[in-house]
């Protein structure tokens, strides 16, 4: 008979540990899906673009992310506090038959800016015409 209360006590303890481990407070911390930049060119997502977020045009990146096949660059680590806005620099990192046009990107200069992600966690960059150039001669 003494065995039944002991088993029940261990069962209750295990259930309590599982329930505490299932606390949803971890969902309040930012995850990859909470903040992103979507890069679009000619109405289509652009993959393999490294997005660098800076405070000044010649400053070191505060955060960086690479776009996936759907054009999303998930920003997982942001400075705290965030700047009033981010100056964006971008680099193509793939040899997928295209590259970001250096002269078009230079024209964008520090005019390409994003709001703090605390204000707007999902942002889109639509690249202008001729921002992407083909690496093949037949295009």
pLDDT over 50 at 25, yes or no: no
In a domain, residue 23? The reply is no
Mean per-residue pLDDT for 3-28?
Answer: 42
Q: What is the mean pLDDT of residues 42-61?
A: 94
Cis peptide before 138 (omega within 30 of 0): no
Look at residue 91 and tell me if it is in a domain: yes
So what's the pLDDT on residue 109? 76
Does 80 map to a domain?
Answer: yes
Q: Is 126 a member of any domain?
A: yes
Would the pLDDT of 5 be above 80? no
Quote the domain boundaries for residue 63.
31-131
Does some domain include residue 112?
A: yes
Closest CA to 37 of 89, 105, 111: 89
In a domain, 38, yes or no: yes
Tens digit of each residue's pLDDT (9 = 90 or more) over 75-129: 989 999 999 999 999 999 977 788 999 888 888 876 899 999 999 999 999 999 8
pLDDT at 111: 84
Predicted local distance difference test score (pLDDT) of residue 33: 56
């Amino acid at each position: 008979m003494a065995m039944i209360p002991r088993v029940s006590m261990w069962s209750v303890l295990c259930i309590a540990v599982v329930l505490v481990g299932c606390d949803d407070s971890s969902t309040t911390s930012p995850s990859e899906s909470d903040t992103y930049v979507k890069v679009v060119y000619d109405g289509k997502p652009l993959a393999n673009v490294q997005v660098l977020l800076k405070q000044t045009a010649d400053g070191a990146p505060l955060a960086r992310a690479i776009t996936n096949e759907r054009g999303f660059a998930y920003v997982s680590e942001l400075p705290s506090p965030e700047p009033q806005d981010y100056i964006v620099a971008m680099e193509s990192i793939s040899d997928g038959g295209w590259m970001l046009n250096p002269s078009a990107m230079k024209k964008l200069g520090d005019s390409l800016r994003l709001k703090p992600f605390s204000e707007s966690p999902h942002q889109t960059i639509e690249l202008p015409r001729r921002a992407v150039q083909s690496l093949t001669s037949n295009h």
